[in-house]
Amino acid sequence: MISAIVPVYNNQTTIKRVLKVLANCGDIDEIFVIDDASQDKSLKIIKSALPNLGPKVKLIVNQENLGKGGAVVKGIKQSRGEVILLCDADLAKLEQSHIEYLINEHKKGYEQVVMCRGKGRNWIAKLSGERIFYRETINPYLEKIKESGNGIEQIINFSHNHHNKKTKFVTAPKDTGHVIKYQRKDKIEAAREYVREGWQLLETEFILQELRLRKKLIFLAQKIKYYW
């Protein structure tokens, strides 16, 4: 069973298309769209679209902004699927072929598949919001994800690396039309959000470095105990 999770915050121009694409995908069993206290018309648009999207689309409304990590965790906890598909709400050109491609790659035996935007495979590209993975891999990290804000993808990648799960990074077959902050917000507000997002990524990296160090120390202690 596949559960799709879509966090939404001020995505009034794109959210209807994203939900329609996901709803039309037969492999997806349920879709949780979480409005994270949007200040634009996102919630109104979602509510007006729901009757035409079918019963598998379920709306969660946050009265206060929890951040991307908090919104996603809220959706995951209410979902039932053993497989989780995450999709950002700011994709103006998302097509069913994008989602089917992601799911089909996952069926080939990878524990996680990440659909990178553009042709790059750099660190930022690997933090793409479009990905599919098994719920059980991230269950131990839900509380960290909840508090991570935009560091969510870093933690999900770490959880797979930490447990030696196979991840495949693929390139989207077509442009998904990612709408960047400068295209939908005042330039000053967009700059502030980029700074806040950058800080969250940095904070998350410090946390993950600590977890990596702890893993190495535990491994070293086990080796010493064995040879002692």
Place of tokens 């659909």: 115
Backbone angles phi, psi at 133, to 5 degrees: -160, 170
Q: Is position 196 within any domain?
A: no
Write the burial class of residue 76 (CB in 10 Å: 0-12 exposed, 13-18 middle, 19+ buried). Answer: buried
For residue range 180-220, what is the model confidence (pLDDT) as tens digits?
544 556 656 655 665 566 556 667 776 666 666 555 544 44
Residue 132 lies in a domain: yes
The domain total for the chain is: 1
Q: What is the pLDDT of residue 200?
A: 63
pLDDT (tens digit, 9 = 90+) per residue, 70-95? 999 999 999 999 999 999 999 999 99
Assigned domain for 123 exists: yes
Q: What's the whole-model pTM score?
A: 0.84
71 closest CA partner among 125, 141, 157, 142 = 142
Rounded average pLDDT per 10-residue block, the chain, 228 residues: 97 96 97 96 97 96 95 97 97 94 96 82 77 96 87 89 90 77 56 60 68 54 50
Residue 76 resides in a domain = yes
CATH number of the domain bearing residue 93:
3.90.550.10
Q: Report how far apart the first and last C-alpha atoms of the chain are (Å, whole number).
A: 48
